Amino acid sequence: MYQAIIAAPAIDGQAGQAHRRTEGLRSTAGSASINSMGTRLQTLVALLQTAPGEIFIQPHDAPDPDAIASAFGLHYLLSRHGLKARIIYGREYEKMDARRMVALLGIELSMAAEAASIESEDWVVVIDGQSGNTNMADLHCVEVAAIDHHMVRADAAYRFLDIRPEVGSCSAIIADYFFENQEIPPRLVATALLYGIFIDTDSMTRGVTDLDALMFYRLYAFAEPEIFRRLRSSQLTLRDLATYADAFRTVEIYGRLAFLRLADADDSLVGAANDIVLSLDEIDASVAYSVRSDGVKISVRCKVDDIHGDELARAIAGELGFGGGHVHMAGGFIPADRVPPDRSVDTLIRHRAISYMESSNH
């Protein structure tokens, strides 16, 4: 989906927030499609040139390589149009390859809590996620644009929206912005985007579309193979390995489903551990979860088309929390205060997942 609209009233401060929340995209009075007037990037730039305050680029919380690369690429493109923006995010990232990426590629980003003051009239472009998601911190400013490859939220209301849920990575969408505008990606940007595509598509095997493959090919010509290789081999630390070693002993298989429990682990570690479990020959889908002080983080992976990961994630989190994502890669969260005190989390998750499988004849 690609929509770019001009909303008639100016968005500013609280009044703007109210306006944004009460009017759906398609119902915005006086909106006009301006697709034909330029590329998506040109449309976004034209909008951001009218920003009344600072511009922020916000990848999802605990950003992964795809989120970081997308923000880095967009930051560069905006700078080419004279737009200053800062990349900020909520919740710290823990995966080693994300840390290496930031260090080796010289990416500047900071935690929202540590960034200089964010004013209510400042604008934010959310990337690789959408406002209102549990993994997208509310910065209390104006969410003016979203670029994402997840399902569009029902409450989405941005002045610029480029959401393509079918694409395997957000990095491919940003790479598309480069080539669509005859922009040569600098070596480090190309390397970041190449790695973002590679990771989000699980080494070009998950949810890969023509765009992911084409962008991977085109970026490759500009990327630095040695840094790419270094990132690829920085996915784990010794500490992660110890966490995984303990966790992998908990793996249980019920029919086509595997379950993995991790001790207190960051979102990205849960997902990465689950990718490893999914590579088991015996199963078609896997559910990993981590019981943390803030709640239960759930990751779902599928390697077949007849089990829908997003539905399975929703079935597990149910009315207790939130679940969703892609068919092959999904997740969910149950806040601590919603976890039933009378049942073990292990039983709850297994019961719900297996019930889903049975009810949908798997």
Q: Name the residue nearer to Mn ion (CB basis): 3 or 201.
A: 201
Question: Which of the stretches 73-81, 196-204, 212-220, 285-293 binds Mn ion when contact is defined by CB under 5 A?
Answer: 196-204
Name which of 200 and 284 has its Cβ closer to Mn ion.
200
202 is a site residue for Mn ion (CB under 5 A): no
DSSP 320: G
> What is the rounded end-to-end Cα distance, in angstroms, of the chain?
31
Among candidates 90, 59, 54, which has minimal Cα distance to 72? Answer: 59
CB 231 to Mn ion: min, Å: 16
Q: Which is nearer to Mn ion, 207 or 321 (CB)?
A: 207
- Of the candidates 210, 262, 209, the residue with the CA atom closest to the CA atom of residue 239: 262
Of 122 and 212, CB closest to Mn ion: 212
284 binds Mn ion (CB under 5 A): no
- Residue 273: CB minimum distance to Mn ion, A: 18
Q: Whose Cβ is closer to Mn ion: residue 295's or residue 331's?
A: 331
For Mn ion, the closer of residues 59 and 321 by Cβ is 59
Question: Which residue lies nearer to Mn ion by CB, 142 or 172?
Answer: 172
Measured CA to CA, the distance from residue 68 to residue 49 in angstroms comes to 23
Residue labelled with tokens 């998750």:
349
Alpha-carbon gap, residue 172 to 208, rounded angstroms = 10
Residue nearest to Mn ion (CB): 66
Among 7, 125, 170, 227, binds Mn ion (CB under 5 A): 170
Binder among 54, 148, 162, 200 for Mn ion (CB under 5 A): 200
CA 332 – CA 274 distance, rounded (Å):
13
Q: Binding of Mn ion at residue 143 (CB under 5 A)?
A: no
Q: What strands lie across the sheet with 329-335, from one edge to the other? A: 252-254, 257-262, 285-292, 295-302, 329-335, 322-325
Cα(251)–Cα(152) distance, rounded to whole angstroms? 33
Segment contacting Mn ion by CB under 5 A, of 39-47, 168-176, 335-343, 350-358: 168-176
Q: Should residue 66 be labelled a site residue for Mn ion when binding is judged by CB under 5 A?
A: yes
Nearest approach, Cβ of residue 128 and Mn ion (Å): 4
In the region spanning residues 107 to 136, those forming contacts with Mn ion, defined by CB under 5 A, are 128
Start-end of H helices in 35-154: 40-48, 65-80, 96-105
Contact (Cβ atoms closer than 8 angstroms) between residue 360 and residue 316 = no
Please give the residue ranges that form the binding site for Mn ion (CB under 5 A). 66, 128, 170, 200
